[in-house]
Structure 1
């Protein structure tokens, strides 16, 4: 049996993707760690979603987040690019397509909304806020490290996506509630006749 602990972090240091050792409170570690936290919450959201297309999309995003975190967790990016996929323009375009599609289908929003009327919607708003926090860490880290523009664009679209998916899940839950109420009233009317 292989142990999951290595004891190499017992003195407050950790290894980056390329093997470089840094303190566990290094801003780079804080940044990819915050994206890791966001990804774990995306996994929870996926389990709550009612819309199958949202579940499928969130599962895809979970894998993309590994590539995002890997690139952030690498000082020597030459070692990363040869060993892993990375976020590309088509990944950003996919998020934009979904956002645009839902925006045209959902009712127009004219005021602030409460963060989640359904369990899935509430969890997706948790993802949105975590993604925004991770983005703030990325911007802060970007003061000393240059990232490919695709990284920052993807992260910015990702929080927008979480918002629109939350709205879609809330809308679906509201529609189901209306249908349930109509059926309940119909059955009651039949029973009273």
Structure 2
């Protein structure tokens, strides 16, 4: 017997959190973990690019695993105790900082804003960065309405920084010139 993918329980615009509480699919909680899911999917697309080195793919895999943990936490009603959820902690935030610091020291000094692009891999890093920022905004909004685990917002904040640095690192690896933003002032 196979499991059906559709349940029809959401056909009226509601869904259940882990713990059973029904909420509107338009709620900020659903948007928050939906943004995390979208980010995870884009990271998968980025990870699947043949130009991405194995050691960087491993970092992306690590990030995806932890984004699934964050999605699970966000998909749970506060106080859920049905089973133990994976946690995000200070060590996870520090790991992102280690990678950011390592790559930053290998890159030329940043003197201008950089326009996204130059190669599909670089552009996908920027897509991940911007989706991550949207996820951060929605999680921050959720946190203003009800408490969110204290490590989630810093992790997501650091992750967007990671993808900015990774976009620059991938430009360097692929020998793609970064295009600085030079504002055009109208006369």
Q: What is the TM-score when the length of structure 1 is the normalising length?
A: 0.85
Per the alignment, residue 13 of structure 2 pairs with: 12
Per-residue deviation, residues 24-76 of structure 1 (Å, max 9, x unmatched): 11111011101111111011111125222211100111111111011111123
Aligned residue-pair number = 174
**Among 44, 65, 68, the residue aligned to 2:67:** 65
Shift of 1:116: 3.0
In structure 2, the residue corresponding to 1:107 is in which secondary structure? coil
Counterpart CA distance in 2 for 1:116 and 1:83 is: 41
For 1:164, the equivalent position in structure 2 comes to 165
Matches within 5 A, 1:108-127: 108-127=109-128
Q: Which runs of 5+ in 1 are unaligned?
A: 176-193
Of 50, 55, 69, the match for 2:52: 50
The CA distance in 1 between the partners of 2:84 and 2:62, in whole Å, is 19
Which protein shows a greater Rg?
1
For residues 120-179 of structure 1, give each alpha carbon's deviation from its aligned partner in whole angstroms, at most 9, with x where no partner exists: 11101000000001111111111111122211110100100111111111111117xxxx
Q: CA RMSD in A?
A: 1.4
Greater percentage in helix: 1
The 5-angstrom pairing of residues 1-193 of structure 1 reads: 1-48=2-49, 49-79=51-81, 82-174=83-175
Distance in 2 (alpha carbons) for counterparts of 1:30 and 1:78: 19
The answer for unaligned runs of 5 or more in structure 2 is 177-187
The two structures have a TM-score, normalised by structure 2, of: 0.88
